[in-house]
């Protein structure tokens, strides 16, 4: 059974870097694409970006200059960093699994973690 679990600080100060990790179990991180999305309070979903099984990343231009997604195959984990955060980055952050064939959708998601940006 595939499971994803986000972890990281729930509170980040403005101008600092938000860092989250997603731990994957039940699937090899080397065989899929892995992504991050977020949901602002009471709002819809925004895709942040993915990293492929070859280490190629693809980011949403709305965040591109501030986002880095990386993978640690030895720990079966992948990570998200968002720099220079503001209150507008306060959201629930989700990690998810994608496929080389994007038609297969985001088929497994973590339960989400709320990150609040505040001093």
Partner 1 sequence: DIQMTQSPSSLSASVGDRVTITCRASQSISIYLNWYQQKPGKAPKLLIYAASSLQSGVPSRFSGSGSGTDFTLTITSLQPEDFAAYYCQQNYNTPWTFGQGTKVEIK
Residues that bind partner 1 (CB under 8 A): 44-47, 49, 58-62, 94, 102-107, 109-112
- CB nearer to partner 1: pick between 81 and 109: 109
> Least separation, in Å, of the C-beta of 13 and partner 1?
26
> Least separation, in Å, of the C-beta of 49 and partner 1?
8
> Least separation, in Å, of the C-beta of 70 and partner 1?
18
- CB nearer to partner 1: pick between 59 and 78: 59
- CB nearer to partner 1: pick between 73 and 105: 105
Cα dihedral sign, 9-15-79-4: positive
Q: Give the whole-angstrom CA distance, residue 56 versus residue 46.
A: 20
- CB nearer to partner 1: pick between 64 and 75: 64
Give the number of C-alpha atoms closer than 13 A to the C-alpha of residue 62, restricted to the C-beta side.
Answer: 8
> Least separation, in Å, of the C-beta of 9 and partner 1?
20
Q: How far is CA 11 from the centre of its chain?
A: 16
Q: Give the whole-angstrom CA distance, residue 23 versus residue 59.
A: 20
* Sheet bearing 67-72, strands edge to edge: 3-7, 18-25, 77-82, 67-72
């Amino acid at each position: 059974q595939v499971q994803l679990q986000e972890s990281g600080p729930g509170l980040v100060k403005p101008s600092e870097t938000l860092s989250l990790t997603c731990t994957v179990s039940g699937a090899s991180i080397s065989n899929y694409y892995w992504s991050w999305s977020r949901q602002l309070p009471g709002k819809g979903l925004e895709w942040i970006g993915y990293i492929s099984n070859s280490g190629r990343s693809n980011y949403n231009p709305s965040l591109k200059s501030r986002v880095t997604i990386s993978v640690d195959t030895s720990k079966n984990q992948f990570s998200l960093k968002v720099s220079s955060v503001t209150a507008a980055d306060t959201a629930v952050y989700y990690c998810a699994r994608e496929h080389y064939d994007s038609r297969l959708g985001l088929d497994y998601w973590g339960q989400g973690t709320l990150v609040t940006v505040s001093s």
